[in-house]
Amino acid sequence: MCFLVRAVYRRDIRNRLAHGVDPSKAERLREAIAIGTEGFVQPIKKQAGGGGRETSGKRQLRRQCSIDEILHTVEQVYGGTRQTWMTHRGGDGKTLAMWAVRRYGGLTLRETGEALGGVDYAAVGIAIKRLERKAATDRNLRKQIELIGTMLNVET
């Protein structure tokens, strides 16, 4: 965990200890599938299949972009074509694509691996974690990640 993340976490915990947290509100937010009026929340819960903690449809609600749209954006940001960085060892292109498909496509690790050439889900998870660690210290990679979110017009 990078130093900045730890510092922010510690500050948040100190603030919670000093000022307290309304557990009912915190619990409601943690369990919520959507935040808003009952008229807004109910249709979303119905679409997701109930709205409980173990709701299987939550992932579909997070799907924001198609795989093709994501890969096209990674091509523009990273450079080259997807055929080049999908078959070339080294470089961050394929891993950046895995990260973006997982993040902005809402796919599981297994689905992400299958979509990107039959990569094992465990390898996808490890690659994404390595990319995120690298982005903590690599300014250029961090900018690429931010640019992908901006170009896909989604919050990062």
Q: Can you give the residue ranges of every domain in the chain?
A: 3-55, 67-151
Enter the pTM of the model. Answer: 0.58
pLDDT band at 54; cut points 50, 70, 90? very low
**b/e for 36-74, b at 16 or more Cβ within 10 A?**
eeeeeeeebbeebeebeeeeeebeeeeeebebeebbebb
pLDDT (mean) for 66-76: 89
- CATH class assigned to 67-151: mainly alpha
Per residue in 141-156, pLDDT (tens digit) is 999 999 998 888 765 4
Tens of pLDDT, residue by residue over 84-113, are 877 777 778 889 999 998 888 888 889 999
Query: Which residues neighbour 23 within 8 Å (Cβ) at sequence distance 6 or greater?
Result: none
Phi, psi of 114 (to 5 degrees): -65, -40
For the chain, the average pLDDT equals 76
Q: Is 83 exposed, middle or buried (0-12, 13-18, 19+ CB in 10 A)?
A: exposed
- 3-class SS at 46? helix
